[in-house]
Amino acid sequence: MKQTRPIKKLLIANRGEISCRIIKTARKMGIATVAVYSDADANALHVKMADEAVRLGPAPSRESYLKGELIIAAAIKLGVDAIHPGYGFLSENAQFCKLCEQHDIIFVGPPVPAIEAMGSKSAAKQIMQKAGVPLVPGYHGEDQSADLLKQHADDMGYPVLLKAAAGGGGKGMRQVAASNEFFAALDAAKREAMSSFSDDIMLVEKYLADPRHVEIQVFCDNHGNGVYLFERDCSVQRRHQKVIEEAPAPGMTEALRAQMGEAALKAAHAINYVGAGTVEFLLEPDGQFFFMEMNTRLQVEHPVTEMITQQDLVEWQLKVAQNEILPCEQSDLQIHGHAFEARVYAEDPNNDFLPSTGKLIKLVPPTESQHVRVDTGVLQGDDVSPYYDPMIAKLIVWDADRATALARLASALSDYHVDGVTTNIDFLYNLASHEAFQQEKLTTHFIERHESSLFLSDLSSTETMVPIATAFLIMRRQSENQSKDLVNSPWQASNHWRMNESHLEKLELLIQGISISVKVEHLGRLDHTRHSLKIFVDNKEYVCVCELSKDVMNINLNGHNQQIKWVERTEHATLFTEQMAVTCAIQAPDLGLEDVDDHHGGFNAPMNGTIVGLLVDVDQLVEKGDTLMVMEAMKMEHAIKAPNKGKVTEFYFSAGDLVGGGAQLLAFELQE
């Protein structure tokens, strides 16, 4: 039996929140820490938190965080005993794990053969098939001829899913609805896989219609022990990437939990697994489940498991790496309460979740407590750079049951104040407040299915939204004027006296990005803080009394009292109403200037990237929504689409060209 080998000094070969999170546990265990950083991260939080830090190189990951030899050299120089790879970067890189072994440095993760076995989704499926773990039906063979792949898809019946064998993070994946779309989808999936993983081997799977993503956390030590720490439901996804995760999975029975847990352990034992691992399954509505893949590392969403099991999984990892036996046996583990994790991203949900970069001019997370945990790697004033994943934080909440935990999630999101970059906070709030989510109607298609209510572009669907936003904007204007010390000006008097005029004010508002006209009658001040207004929207009339404080508005609207949290951002304010987050602003008067950007986001490169291809010819007539050009940025493909019927009159770039963020890509002529 191997000897216990204490870790005194740990290098974390990662950045951001996961580096910070690992440092916290190492510190608790009395282990010294070494951070690594790129030039973009010289002043990052993980660097500040670690006892020592070593520069790796320039900002791009391949010149810094992916440079295994440099990391090993730093570890040797600083007398490091172990390297924790976090997730992403080198965490599932067998080559790096071998390098660690060669230099007698402990790799906090599974042994090389286990990483290799699960490194390819195809090979993993073959191993699991032999071990008797149920698989998603499909083809995962070595012959990769396009015709053969298509033949398998045709035989299986559509829709099918093409997946990169080396894939991860939802990249290199394409759904194919019909036979005639197969080759185009195969090309696109291979292209994305090649650029992300330098490998374009594909597998074809039956596309399940309405599954949930349920995964099992497993842990094994070097002494033959293995346990499962129950499940996480990660069904709420966009572009096949997780958005909100929770544990335990709603509706899970004890019997199914045990069955899935045992299957996951069978998968782990089949490859002599050691350390933390996750076995991902698709769960069908009838309770059938199928193996998708095994991730041989700590997952992003591990905190929900920590919250419900009251265990520290990084501590477990470090103990196992020191060759200790697992801290618990299966019978010691129990589920306590319910936890959610929301991934707070710098991205624009209203623009296809395009990453957003820039300075975090405001970053005020909710207060942490036994119910609220914020795992982050950035501070106010830091930049979200285009070089790395634009995650700002993971917001984790816990409570005794699902409904209470979900209410806490919504509340904590409304207390998360970020400005300077566009974030998905409002979108996460809409998810957390959504009736179907509250009712546990989970499926991997949740976001698509509820698109209209999650992205809300129809103001009529919640009747009181416009008058509430109007009242807020009036109150906000009032308090701004007061703070500008204009209270003594007759023009700002709150009795709304107007010469020869009624008190009716006409306003143009922008609510959820939609222009709307309203009329407001100022009924006057009731006391020092409360104002009374009458608001006219279309033919309806609303009487309200409202009071605005720093981050809450109290409003009585036609006899209904509500407290609504709000936050001010650069371009608008957001109100967190019961159903959803509502953005609003008073529109600047229209001076009749020509709208120079009538292109749904314009034909400008959203960020630095590479042109992948031009999909139409110059002067070719195209329809609204047709893809004109595809560019790749941050390893994702982005389609530049026609805003309306018309034609491209000139492309300013060709396939393969590098473009800078903001560059104009093409000229487009609308057809009348």
215 binds ligand ADP (CB under 6 A): no
Q: Is 297 a catalytic residue?
A: yes
Smaller CB distance to ligand ADP: residue 284 or 547?
A: 284
Select from 169-177, 337-345, 415-423, 480-488 the region that touches ligand ADP (CB under 6 A).
169-177
Q: Would you give the binding string for ligand ADP spanning residues 143-162, x where CB under 6 A is met?
A: ------------------x-
Smaller CB distance to ligand ADP: residue 179 or 558?
A: 179
Select from 141-149, 202-210, 367-375, 575-583 the region that touches ligand ADP (CB under 6 A).
202-210
Smaller CB distance to ligand ADP: residue 57 or 169?
A: 169
* Contact (Cβ atoms closer than 8 angstroms) between residue 376 and residue 20: yes
Rounded Cα gap, residues 166 and 565, in angstroms: 44
Question: Minimum Å distance from CB 169 to ligand ADP?
Answer: 5
Smaller CB distance to ligand ADP: residue 63 or 637?
A: 637
238 binds ligand ADP (CB under 6 A): no
Question: Minimum Å distance from CB 393 to ligand ADP?
Answer: 21
Rounded Cα gap, residues 429 and 188, in angstroms: 33
Of 119, 168, 337, 358, which lies in the binding site for ligand ADP, with binding defined by CB under 6 A? 168
Residue 253 burial by Cβ neighbours in a 10 Å radius (0-12, 13-18, 19+): exposed
Of 27, 150, 191, 240, which lies in the binding site for ligand ADP, with binding defined by CB under 6 A? 240
3-state SS string over 283-300? ECCCCCEEEEEEECCCCC
Closest CA to 243 of 302, 303, 301: 301
Longest alpha-carbon distance in the chain: 95
Catalytic residue among 297, 343, 408, 476: 297
* Residue number closest to ligand ADP, CB atom: 444
Smaller CB distance to ligand ADP: residue 237 or 433?
A: 237
Question: Minimum Å distance from CB 300 to ligand ADP?
Answer: 11
- Amino acid found at 274: V
207 binds ligand ADP (CB under 6 A): yes
Rounded Cα gap, residues 234 and 244, in angstroms: 6
Neighbours of 141 (CB within 10 A): 14
Select from 180-188, 207-215, 408-416, 539-547 the region that touches ligand ADP (CB under 6 A).
207-215
Q: How would you classify the pairing of strands 202-206 and 160-164?
A: antiparallel
At residue 364, φ and ψ (nearest 5 deg) are -125, 100
192 binds ligand ADP (CB under 6 A): no
Binding positions for ligand ADP, 414-473, rule CB under 6 A: 444
Smaller CB distance to ligand ADP: residue 207 or 273?
A: 207
Select from 41-49, 164-172, 585-593, 603-611 the region that touches ligand ADP (CB under 6 A).
164-172
Binding positions for ligand ADP, 262-291, rule CB under 6 A: 280, 282
211 binds ligand ADP (CB under 6 A): yes
Of 31, 99, 162, 208, which lies in the binding site for ligand ADP, with binding defined by CB under 6 A? 208
At residue 190, φ and ψ (nearest 5 deg) are -65, -40
Kindly compute the dihedral angle of the four CA atoms of residues 450, 453, 456, 458, in this order, to the nearest 10 degrees.
120
Binding positions for ligand ADP, 538-597, rule CB under 6 A: none
Question: Position of tokens 């009181």?
Answer: 464
Residue 269 burial by Cβ neighbours in a 10 Å radius (0-12, 13-18, 19+): middle
136 binds ligand ADP (CB under 6 A): yes
H runs (alpha helix) in 418-571: 425-433, 435-438, 446-449, 451-455, 465-483
Smaller CB distance to ligand ADP: residue 206 or 359?
A: 206
Smaller CB distance to ligand ADP: residue 167 or 606?
A: 167
Of 200, 205, 389, 426, which lies in the binding site for ligand ADP, with binding defined by CB under 6 A? 205
Question: Position of tokens 């981050």?
Answer: 551
115 binds ligand ADP (CB under 6 A): no
* Strands of 157-261, DSSP E: 160-164, 173-176, 202-206, 212-220, 226-238, 241-247
Question: Position of tokens 């949290």?
Answer: 565
Neighbours of 216 (CB within 10 A): 27
Cα angle at 138 between 137 and 144, to 5 degrees? 170
Of 38, 120, 237, 311, which lies in the binding site for ligand ADP, with binding defined by CB under 6 A? 237
| DSSP secondary structure code for residue 664 in this structure | B
Question: Position of tokens 């703070």?
Answer: 483
Select from 8-16, 204-212, 320-328, 481-489 the region that touches ligand ADP (CB under 6 A).
204-212
Distances (CA, A) of 197 to 49, 120, 167: 31, 11, 7
* Contact (Cβ atoms closer than 8 angstroms) between residue 342 and residue 423: no
Smaller CB distance to ligand ADP: residue 235 or 322?
A: 235
Question: Minimum Å distance from CB 294 to ligand ADP?
Answer: 10
Question: Minimum Å distance from CB 173 to ligand ADP?
Answer: 6
Smaller CB distance to ligand ADP: residue 283 or 432?
A: 283
Select from 83-91, 205-213, 391-399, 622-630 the region that touches ligand ADP (CB under 6 A).
205-213
Binding site for ligand ADP (CB under 6 A): 136, 161, 163, 167-170, 173, 205-208, 211, 213, 237, 240, 280, 282, 292-293, 444
The catalytic residue positions are 297
